[in-house]
Structure 1
Amino acid sequence: MIDIPKIQKAVVCTGPNQPWTVLTEYPVPHPGPYEVLIKVIAVGLCGGDGVLRSGGMPGLNYPMVAGHEVVGRIVALGSQVHDESANDGSIWRWQAGKPSGMFDGWAWLYRCQVDATDLGYLCISGSDTAHATALTRDGGLAEYTIAHYTALVPYPDNLPSIQAPLLCAGLTCFNALRHAHAKPGDSVLIIGCGGLGHVAIPLSRAMGLRPIVVSRSEAKREAALELGAEAFISSSTNDLVHEIARVVDTPFGGPGTGPGGVNVVLQTAPEEETLKRVADALAMDAEVFLLGEPESMRIDLPLMPFLIKRASIRGWTAGVPMDAHDTLRFCVQTGVRCVVRTTTLMGAEDAYTDMGATRFRTVVVVDPEETQKERDQGLA
């Protein structure tokens, strides 16, 4: 067991629209009965961190440690946490030293009426039972953090800690794709090629689907193709539907579809105008997954393509810890990885403000000795 200090470095947001501040004497938390203490190794930066930054959600607490894509090692167990050495039948058993990922937790619950289903993040029993990492309780941009034991997933030994974004970006895209009705050989139109979109490409490929990227950033064409996109189409093209048809054209289109269309759309970037134009390129029974929010928080779409083609619109946000566990296992098995660059706790604020220029995710390395060990072991 390691010696646990009383104070630590932490990246803290002091209030809405305030820059993140690195505090060098932030108290190390003590785990409650149902919590564990985690020594943090790495934390991904995410567009979702903007909710804490802007104060754009009711119930936020300040000051708050940022960061919800957390990988670390358990160093202490709360008194009521099931120890791995205890044969008590619990599926939630942990031990000190065990590598773990903290579920990004847009709302991980532990007394919720729907918690027994796969919809545990949709709390209907009141805000007192729901917690969101780095929104209602401290996140992971610190040397130590605590988590409720049901908010953890085992982190694979053969996956580097800097793949922390798989716990959020990877989870969101993986979960949407596996809940789609697409079958191998079907096409997936990915709007955007940023933090979400870039990992959606290899995930689609690994599931036997045909990823097509539409983005307003021409600079990402080469990267999208390298990641496995079948085609890259600039959203600024005059005839977007025609360009999509050139890729997915088949002689087997159904009534009202012409010669085919795209089977799944993943809207990973707030390109509302692109989404409107794509409506005419949908196949019969196509599914449109909304994974990212436009600034207006509203989307105006043409109705007729959805009526004629029996298309559906589905919102999707992350998942529950079991989904995160499935995501990590799938990525280990298939070799899917996020493209990341790294920085330190001291560089977290600059990295966040420069997020739009990042290719494609930034990960804050909190424990460089641990990540160096992983590199020495050949983890990639």
Structure 2
Amino acid sequence: MTTVAAYAAPAAKAPLERTTIERRAVREFDVLIDIKFAGICHSDIHQAREGWGEAIFPMVPGHEIAGVVSEVGPGVTKFAVGERVGVGCMVDSCRECDNCKAGLEQHCTGTVGTYNAIGKDGEPTYGGYSTHVVVDENFVVRIPDGLPLDVAAPLLCAGITTYSPLKQWGAGPGKKVAVIGLGGLGHTAVKIAHALGAEVTVLSQSLRKKEDGLKLGADHYYATSDPKTFEELAGSLDLIVSTVSAPLEFGAYLSLLRTGGALVNVGAPEEPVTLPLFSLIGGNKILAGSAIGGIAETQEMLDFCAEHRIGAEIELIAASEINEAYERVLASDVRYRFVIDAATI
């Protein structure tokens, strides 16, 4: 065991504070990572404040981890000391079920989250708001040299969370894709959808970020607070990806889809939502969800982002600013992802 510095929430809704945690000794197939940067995801806030239900405390959040390998176990074959690597939302799975065999580890019933979970050793997992992490090599991905580590860190959640549904639902040339919300997830969705060749529309509450959206690759930008938006875009979109964590009026958004179109949710509101089923039945439309992506797809996403020079738009902060950053995320006052400089932990 090794003692390392970290920032943790000691209890639900309590401010995060500097502390120390124990990391396990490097085992045969483990990789020890010197964390350089860790992104702040809205889901960190949901979990640290028990917005999604009962959680494990003390909690060290963080599942957007970028760093450098500093030690490997004797059985490790995929990575070497000095390589640039990342860790996303999971650090283990059963590895035997149909989902695991299909590269869909995120849907394994035995998936172990990077934090706020219990590992196979019976100990709680702690996330990336720390100086080091030990992870099995099968749940580590390589960050290509073309991606700076700070802007790559958010791709380990925001990137794969949006890349996966865009790929699955066929975003590409000739397809009209809309992204609901231009935040941490939404801005990466716009970049990726544009790089895939789709015609991209941003649907945001206001036009406040319109200039940003167009610079990021959107072709169109509409305010959902304006009823004319829903009249003008009715029946015109092939795919809508919702990145917001607020409940939507699904009937209104489903009306924007063409026959057979899909609305895919990656944002997860804390509140239940209502769904008028006739908005699905009329037009043979699809309402779906998507959860991050498997390890192989996460590597594919990183390679794609490196090829297209896609990184997150970030605001780099010191660890002492985490609590302020949480409040600013809730106030939508970040463009577009806070990233913690782990050297300040």
Q: How far apart, in 2, do the equivalents of 1:200 and 1:275 lie?
A: 20
Q: CA RMSD in A?
A: 2.1
Query: 1:10 maps to what in 2?
Result: 6
Contact (CA 8 Å) 2:12, 2:48: kept in 1 or not?
A: yes
Question: What's the counterpart of residue 120 of structure 2?
Answer: none
Of 311, 323, 329, the match for 2:297 = 323
Match of 1:272 in 2: 247
Report what 2:122 is aligned to. Answer: none
Measure the CA separation in 2 of the matches of 1:319 and 1:264. Answer: 18
Q: CA deviation at 1:271?
A: 4.5
Q: Does residue 5 of structure 2 align to residue 21 of structure 1?
A: no
- Partner Cα separation in structure 2 for residue 72 and residue 9 of structure 1: 15
- Of the three residues 296, 310, 317, the one matched with 1:336 is 310
Q: 1:189-204 to 2 correspondence within 5 Å?
A: 189-204=178-193
- Once residues 172 and 36 of structure 2 are traced to their aligned partners in structure 1, the CA distance between those partners, rounded to angstroms, is 37
After superposition, the Cα gap between the structure-2 partners of 1:26 and 1:270, relative to the gap in structure 1 and judged at 3 Å, is closer
Aligned to 2:238: 263
- 1:378 is aligned to none
Range with greater deviation from structure 2 (301-310 or 280-289): 301-310
| 8 Å CA contact retained: 2:36, 2:342 | yes
Shift of 1:304: 2.5
Give the match for residue 141 of structure 1.
129
Matches within 5 A, 1:228-377: 228-245=217-234, 260-296=235-271, 298-355=272-329, 356-367=332-343
Counterpart position of 2:113: 132
Aligned residue number for residue 121 of structure 2: none
Unaligned 5+ runs, structure 1: 84-92, 246-259, 369-380
**Is residue 101 of structure 2 the alignment partner of residue 116 of structure 1?**
yes
In 1, Cα distance between the equivalents of 2:163 and 2:218?
A: 16
Comparing 329-338 with 47-56, greater Cα deviation is found at: 47-56
User: How far apart, in 1, do the equivalents of 2:8 and 2:171 lie?
Assistant: 42
Q: Structure 2: which 5+ runs fail to align?
A: 118-124
Q: CA offsets per residue over residues 161-189 of structure 1, 9 Å max, x none?
A: 11211111111111110000344121111
* Structure 2 counterpart of 1:363, one-letter code: V
Q: Distance in 2 between matches of 1:68 and 1:271?
A: 21
| Structure 2 CA distance for aligned equivalents of residues 59 and 303 of structure 1 | 31
TM-score (structure 2 length as normaliser): 0.89
- Deviation, 1:133, is 0.6
Q: TM-score, normalization: structure 1?
A: 0.82
**Worse overlay, 68-77 or 54-63:** 54-63
Counterpart-to-counterpart distance in 1, 2:102 and 2:274: 32
CA distance in 1 between partners of 2:306 and 2:284 (Å): 36
Residue 282 of structure 1 contacts residue 305 of structure 1 at CA under 8 Å; is this kept in 2?
Answer: no
Q: For residue 44 of structure 2, what is the amino acid of its counterpart? A: D
Equivalent position to 1:216, from 188, 205, 225: 205
Assess, with a 3 A threshold, how the Cα gap between structure 1 residues 35 and 58 changes in structure 2: closer, same or farther. Answer: farther
Matching residue of 1:104:
89
Aligned twin of 1:249: none
Partner AA of 2:240 in structure 1: V
Structure number with greater Rg is 1
Secondary structure of the 1:287 match is strand
Paired positions, count? 333
Is 1:70–1:103's contact at 8 Å kept on the other side of the alignment?
Answer: yes
Q: Tell me what 1:250 maps to.
A: none
1:82 and 2:63 are equivalent in the alignment: no
What is the aligned counterpart of 2:65 among 56, 63, 70?
70
